[in-house]
Amino acid sequence: MIRSRVGEHPPLVSAPVGRGQREERPLNNLVVTALVGASSLVAGFLGALTGLGGVVVIVPLLALGFGVDIRYAIGASLVSVIATSSAAAAAFVKEGFSNIRIGMFLEIATTMGALAGAALATRLPTSVIAVVSGLVLISSAFLSSRPREEVPADGHPDRVATQLHLDGSFPGPAGEQSYHVQNVGTGFGLMAVAGALSGLLGIGSGAVNVLAMDHAMHIPFKVSTTTSNFMIGVTAAASAGVYLGRGYIEPALAMPVMLGVLAGSMIGAHVLVKTHAQVLRKVFAAVILVLAVEMIYNGFSGRL
């Protein structure tokens, strides 16, 4: 929810006040809704340019900038993850980059983790969620500031990957390039952690997904990123069901966030091919670091 402060605008949405009861919700504040949508568009645009994803800043943006209850912010963020993943996944699958077999297999881990994380988030104090979110943001800032390098695929097949037919190929400059998947068990465990973070914090967990596939499983980076994009929508949908059942997804908030992030991501994807984003990546990482410190401070001080 957006908490009302003395002398400020009325809340955009309100939290449950009792079992089966809700406060009256003045939803006609178009200025606040427009600001939320515009901020989400900028977040989606910068997220697409840096490769980190705009949803990683949506929760701190709503919680710190607009005073939204962190659980409602997470619910809105999950809805935007579903939208952006659905929009991009089809194109990547058509181009032959996404490995559907890997995605469907690893989604077992991320979905179970997402359900556990979402259930835990509805029971944890918001201050604890804020501190954990801040720590994850710091890790994301570190990862986003580093240049991403292609990890060469190992030429030796993994027994489990071979049995599950996870090896594949993708379009390269010189034609189809084949690769072998490694360390399937390690990747599966990391994916469960990624799903739990997605459900707990409302982030797309794409950074953890790519880390698991790119570094642990030795899947080529282009395949890792596109397969992760295919997966995160399913993971977010599993988490969103829990938040929806608990009443933490408010259409008046989720709609402008979803439309803003989706539009910003599409614009950023078109600009990305013409932009050298390394400097922007570092600037965005610095912004995330500031938000992380603010989230941790507000969590420990009990303001969130």
Q: What is the pTM of this model?
A: 0.76
- In the prediction, which pLDDT does 156 show? 67
- In the prediction, which pLDDT does 15 show? 47
- In the prediction, which pLDDT does 3 show? 47
Tens of pLDDT along the chain (304 residues)? Answer: 444 333 343 345 544 444 444 443 444 478 889 999 999 998 888 776 665 666 778 888 898 888 888 889 999 999 988 888 777 777 777 778 888 899 999 999 999 999 999 999 888 898 888 898 888 878 767 765 665 555 555 456 788 888 988 998 888 777 788 888 988 999 999 899 888 988 888 876 666 777 788 778 888 877 887 888 788 888 888 889 889 998 999 999 999 999 998 898 888 767 765 665 566 667 767 777 887 888 888 888 877 6
Crossing angle for the helix pair 184-201 and 221-246, to the nearest 10 degrees: 40
Tokens representing 294 are 């603010």
d(CA 179, CA 253): 43
Domains of the chain, residue spans: 27-300
Burial of 19 by CB count in 10 Å (0-12 exposed, 13-18 middle, 19+ buried)? exposed
Burial of 237 by CB count in 10 Å (0-12 exposed, 13-18 middle, 19+ buried)? middle
Crossing angle for the helix pair 126-145 and 70-95, to the nearest 10 degrees: 40
Tokens representing 249 are 């997804």
Burial of 290 by CB count in 10 Å (0-12 exposed, 13-18 middle, 19+ buried)? middle
d(CA 122, CA 118): 7
Q: Which of 60, 28, 77 is nearest to 12 (CA)?
A: 28
- In the prediction, which pLDDT does 25 show? 42
d(CA 7, CA 30): 18
